[in-house]
Structure 1
Amino acid sequence: MTTSTLQRPKIQGTNLLRVLGALRLSVSSDESTSIERQTDEVNHWTDSPSRDAKVIGFAEDTDVSGSMSPWDRPGLGPWLRALDDLCLVNGCWHQKDEPCMGQWDVLVAWKLDRLSRNTVDFGKLLEWAQKHNKVIVSTQENFDLSTDIGVMVAKIIMIFAEFELKTIAARIKSSMSKLRMKGRWLGGNPPTGYQSVRTDDGMTLVQDPVYGPLVKRIYTMLVVDLMSAGSICKILNNEGILTWSDHMRQQKGRKVKGHKWLPQVLGKMFTSATLCGYVMHDGEIYADSSGKWVKISETPILTYTEWDQANKQLARNAQNLGHKNYRARDNETAHLSTATRCGECWCPMYVSRRRARTGTKIYEHYRCSYGNYGVDCKMRSSIERSELEALFSEQIIDQLGNAPELRKVVTPGVDHTPELEAGRLRLAKLENDFIAGKYDSDAKEASYWRTLESLTAEIARLEAIPVTETTVGWVETGKTFADKWASMDEEDRRTYLLANEVTILVFKDAGGKRKPGVVTHFGALQEMAVRAGIKSAENETWAETQHQCPPFWALTEEQIAEQPREWHEIMRKNFEVEEIVLPETLTRLRTTRQEDVEQAA
């Protein structure tokens, strides 16, 4: 292409052609089309004596596929957009660090496939260039894009480039499939807790000496110690432990960004079964042609059972935090949040804040969150935060204050039930696919019988492994319960109460007008009290206290039924009810841990 076909910029005092170099590389290690070589080609074309041109910048895209639209590329995309209306004409006033379509006249690339390998995208780029008086130049393909013949030749070349892209993609897909079948790591940053190690047959994963044990420690805190994800993150952040992404940056000599551990990070870490040494593909554990799960590491951090336990515990923690659309709020650290529930609808109660109409006073109440769940709650319980927290502290210190604080230690047993269930599901799917006619050729039928034989053998192997029951022990921490309670902050208290299944029910006006009733159930703390030697704790009524509630709520349904008729009449008259029955939520709350308490005693 000659410069005579190019439109010169209308900038006062100069006739320079403003050149933008378009550089693209799919793989940064490809030396045949390196960024440096492409840069030299653009500079060589610009510096030709026959041209009055100057390079004003380079749009560099490294590790970017040719299938990506030019407008979506991080390097080139900004140069194809207008920052304001003035950019649509020559004479853009923006600085060099503000890429804009008004700053250049000629887009120069080493080859057309550096601009795009997609015929449709390239056609759109040509139309855009003609509309905005821009010229596209390829330094290797010698044709004039300002003529119809030149455009036709360019589009033919682009068809071959697109075909080559599809061929490359097919080769990569085939290669990745073979590596996946062999249990090899495909490249990129390894998953949390692993290092990638090159072998003669590809890369495999081994435990990272620091983060492998760290993942195991996080599992223990989550599953054994029943800590919340928030509390675990708090410990990791206080200890100054880098997140996995920052650790990888540090390993590569890059600047650490200082990201904090977050519950979402922990949740994402446990979603992949790579933690238990298996290859993942499309969100599922990858199986070979015989139906066996392919291993990617001979030194897995967790067993499959442990991985399954961690995910189930995370799911339980998420349920404790509320419904599926739950979002953390600044008031969520109130230690009775979530443990407190509405006596009418069972929805969790959270702290709401309201400023006084005059002055600066802030009113804080625990309120029913019925609106978050789409529940029609007639009671809509609420209680002042200070009143409920003072009442609960008095109750729990009165019950447990001088007792030695004990920590429950759970030692998980050996149980392959999760793997068995997964195997049976895969077997059922295999048989259903066979019945549906999906194995409709001799080769497919042979594959079916191989997979069937492999799966049934694996299920039989797992069924033959004896199950070892989980053991529970208790150890003294050296503190009284009152000491422990005083030392905990809001989040620690909230986590502790949830882990021990403490539940508080609040009933609007149960004790009279504007006198909310409160029923507190101490859950697993009753078992701890028995272990600590509090004799009264063995009594089934120990675990429940009531405040400003009708006296018959302290009875069981059987005890209420045994009362004489006169008693029922007095209660109906005094409390203005048609029938003496317990609230449904109170009955639900009393499906207690009595068997655990008896076992502890």
Structure 2
Amino acid sequence: MQVKVEEVTVRRALLAERISYSRDEKSESIEAQDARMKARAAEEAVRVVGVTADVSVSGDVDMFDRPALGEWLAVDKRELWDELWVTNQDRLSRSEPHFMSFVFKMLEWNKEIHVLDDPAFTEQMKTPEGRAILHVKSLGPHKELERIKERIQDSHDRRRFSNRWPGGIPTFGYRIVYRYIDGKRCAYIELDEEMLVWLHRIRRWLIEGDALSGVATRLIEAVVLTARDRARVARGKKTKSRAKLRKDHDESREMWSNGSVKALMTNEALLGYKKYRGKVLRDDAGDPVRIADPAFTPEEWETLQAAIKARSVTTARRVNMTSPAYGVAICSDCRSNGNHKISRGHANGLEYRYYVCGNWPNSRRCKGISCRAEIVEESMEILFLQRHGAERVTKRVWVPGSDSTRELEQVEAKIRRLMRQDEEGDWEDDRAEYRQRMNRLRERRAELRILPVVKSGWVEVDQGMTYAELWATLDLEGRRKRLLESGFRMMIGRGTAWPEKVPLERAMVIQGETVTAKPAPAALTE
């Protein structure tokens, strides 16, 4: 007699746990979800093949995008389980579109969803009528999700115009401090004395004429950490490089650059202003929202911006090796900067220096001119001193002005805004306050309109020497900067060099291996 043995199919379950940790969401903990589902699985003799715990993941995130659950929905792991378990529908999703899309996807895969708090869920998902019921059930969590979003957004909107720090890394020069307000721990920012010293050093360097690249190099050599690296160190983490490191700096940290120095020193957050989406946040009256003390006084800020703007005028910056005429020597064909090149003779091993067009062979307008470096540099020195040698050396000094134009524009904008609010009926219940504000603004506008406007700007202050006397004290880079500042340019051709803006027939054209000084043309000495 044969005994028929029935095959028993083992149910394979994947446990999906999620919690968003939202203050507005009353959720059972991950531990509680785990304990409930494992206890039920033991009762029903279900084999648990995996547990996914998505912590700090919103119910609005698609199931396929969740860090833990998403891995088990991929093809290679999808065949390892037959049932997906959750404690309640909210743990699966709070989004109605995501929820219904996932239900249909599970039917396509021939999988089941089990909800501990809703035993009828599994059978309902298998029929059109049941899925209609599930759709209605999904609307409740979806509406609750929208209410949570609205409450969070309202909270952000209320705090946006306060003097509290909204979060993230403050700009270099400031640090986060915490204070207890009404029993709650609130974040603020304040000036950091150590970083403030560096900010004023950077300002002094820029005012004195240092290039942005030079300032960046100084900061790197002094091992001054960026704001991001400082934040990492404060959290007990290591510094981190976001770019390719320089050969002479093997530390894993962020490197200062021209762009980062300029971005920092032009950031209005250094005035203590609060920023939102990259712009200074302004209140209803149009005034900037200030959340900390400024790093610079108005005069210091104005001179700093003027110095940075002045640095942007001259784009020629020496790169790689020392080139006394970089930015001064210009290709006569296409007006590109002349690059300094060195070649070595095969027979004698001697070095020969040239200035060649920096844009050749990329430019079709240029035929690849070159000129011996000695010709360019020696003629450049002679011609410059002939033109400027007897002139007095001056230093640019910033003189702050008195201009109320900007404040006048802000006051007029406030008046227009107040009038618009009045037209919309916002001041119907408080006419006295409206008239009081309007009168103050109109009085201030009248005061500003009669104030004289004195333009701020740079003035030249005599330094007690001539350019000829100064020239002897300068190194190669100092002479190059002086030439750039004066606007002096040398045009280079094939073995020739002449000053810019001087007709060729009147210019001092220098050819061959030596330089012979000739009387300067009138155009050079006028």
TM-score (norm. length: structure 1): 0.60
Retained in 1: the 8 A contact 2:375–2:511?
no
1:58 partnered with 2:52: yes
Deviates most, 253-262 or 148-157: 148-157
Tell me if structure 2 keeps the 8 A contact 1:22–1:107: no
Aligned to 1:259: 254
Identity of aligned residues (%): 20
User: SS state of the match for residue 259, structure 1?
Assistant: coil
Q: Give the AA of the match of 2:235.
A: K
Superposition pairs of residues 237-316 of structure 1, within 5 angstroms: 237-257=220-240, 258-270=253-265, 272-297=267-292, 299-304=293-298, 306-307=300-301, 310=304, 314=308
Aligned to 1:38: 30
Q: 1:147 to 1:272 in 2, by over 3 A?
A: farther
List gaps (5 residues or longer) in structure 1.
1-13, 83-87, 93-99, 323-327, 355-360, 509-513, 522-543, 560-589, 595-601
**How is 1:441-520 mapped onto 2 (pairs within 5 angstroms)?**
441-443=424-426, 450=437, 453-454=440-441, 457=444, 460=447, 485=475, 496=481, 500=485, 503-508=488-493, 514-519=494-499
What's the secondary structure of 1:278's corresponding residue? Answer: coil
CA contact (8 A) 1:144 1:151 kept: no
1:226 maps to 209
Tell me by how many angstroms 1:290 deviates: 2.8
Q: Assess, with a 3 A threshold, how the Cα gap between structure 1 residues 280 and 44 changes in structure 2: closer, same or farther.
A: same
For the 8 Å contact 2:411–2:444, the answer to whether it is kept is no
AA at the equivalent of 1:367: C
The reply to whether residue 205 of structure 1 matches residue 178 of structure 2 is: no
Deviation at 1:22, TM superposition (A): 4.7
SS in 1 for 2:177: strand
SS of the residue 2:140 aligns to:
helix
Per-residue CA distance 1:290-324 (angstroms, 9 max, x = gap): 33322211x211245644655565566556448xx
- Contact 1:353 1:362 (8 Å CA) reproduced: yes
5 Å-filtered alignment, 1:87-106, equals 88=75, 92=76
Deviations 1:1-23 (A, max 9, x none): xxxxxxxxxxxxx9573636453
Given that residues 38 and 109 in structure 1 are in contact (C-alpha distance below 8 angstroms), is that contact kept between their aligned partners in structure 2? no
User: For structure 1, which segment, 117-126 or 302-311, has the greater mean C-alpha deviation from structure 2 after superposition?
Assistant: 302-311
* 1:165-184 equivalent positions in 2, closer than 5 A: 165-184=145-164
- Give the drift of 1:52: 3.0
Matched residues in 1 for 2:300 and 2:361: separation? 36
* Mean Cα deviation higher: 446-455 or 179-188: 446-455
How many Å apart are 1:30 and its aligned residue? 8.8
8 Å contact kept, 2:172–2:226: no
Structure 2: distance between partners of 1:114 and 1:217? 55
**In 2 relative to 1, CA 20–341 (structure 1 residues): closer, same or farther, beyond 3 Å?**
farther
Q: How does 1:66-465 map to 2 (within 5 A)?
A: 66-72=59-65, 80=73, 82=74, 88=75, 92=76, 108-109=85-86, 111-136=88-113, 138=115, 143-145=120-122, 146-148=125-127, 151-199=131-179, 201=181, 202-222=186-206, 224-257=207-240, 258-270=253-265, 272-297=267-292, 299-304=293-298, 306-307=300-301, 310=304, 314=308, 317=311, 320-321=314-315, 337-343=326-332, 346=335, 348=337, 366-367=356-357, 369=359, 380=366, 382-384=368-370, 387-388=372-373, 391-392=376-377, 395-396=380-381, 412-415=398-401, 417=403, 420-426=404-410, 440-443=423-426, 450=437, 453-454=440-441, 457=444, 460=447
Within 2, Cα distance between the matches of 1:333 and 1:109? 69
TM-superposition CA deviations, 1:169-223 (whole Å, max 9, x none): 333333333333333222333232112333455543210122222223223323x
Quick one: distance in 2 between partners of 1:52 and 1:362?
85
Letter in 1 for 2:224: I
Query: Do the aligned residues in 1 keep the contact of 2:63 with 2:93 (CA within 8 Å)?
Result: yes
Question: What is the Cα deviation at residue 517 of structure 1?
Answer: 3.1
Aligned length: 467
Larger Rg: 2
Report the CA distance shift for 1:319/1:43 in structure 2 as closer, same or farther (over 3 A).
farther
Judged with a 3 Å threshold, the aligned counterparts in structure 2 of structure 1 residues 31 and 131 are, in CA distance, closer, same or farther, namely closer
Change (3 A) 1:497 1:483: closer
8 A Cα contact 2:415 2:441, kept in partner: no
User: CA offsets per residue over residues 67-102 of structure 1, 9 Å max, x none?
Assistant: 44445555655655x5xxxxx3xxx3xxxxxxx666
Alignment check: 8 A CA contact 1:368 1:381 kept: no
TM-score when normalising by structure 2: 0.67
1:17 aligned residue (8, 12, 36) = 12
Contact 1:192 1:269 (C-alpha < 8 Å) held by counterparts: yes
State the shift of 1:236 in Å: 0.9
Measured against aligned partners, the alpha-carbon deviations of 1:395-419 in whole angstroms (never above 9, x if no partner) come to: 459978xx9xx998766444464xx
Kindly tell me: are residues 249 and 309 of structure 1, through their superposed partners in 2, closer, same or farther at Cα, counting changes over 3 Å? same
The residue that corresponds to 1:572 in the other structure is none
Deviations 1:348-369 (A, max 9, x none): 5668999xxxxxx999964365
| Residue 204 to residue 139, structure 1, CA distance change in 2 (3 Å) | same
Q: C-alpha distance in 1, partners of 2:78/2:339?
A: 52
Does the CA contact (< 8 Å) of 1:278 and 1:286 recur in 2?
yes
- Most deviating of 225-234 and 39-48: 39-48
Change (3 A) 1:457 1:236: same
Q: CA deviation at 1:426?
A: 4.0
Flag structure 2 segments of 5+ consecutive residues without an equivalent.
1-8, 241-252, 344-350, 502-506
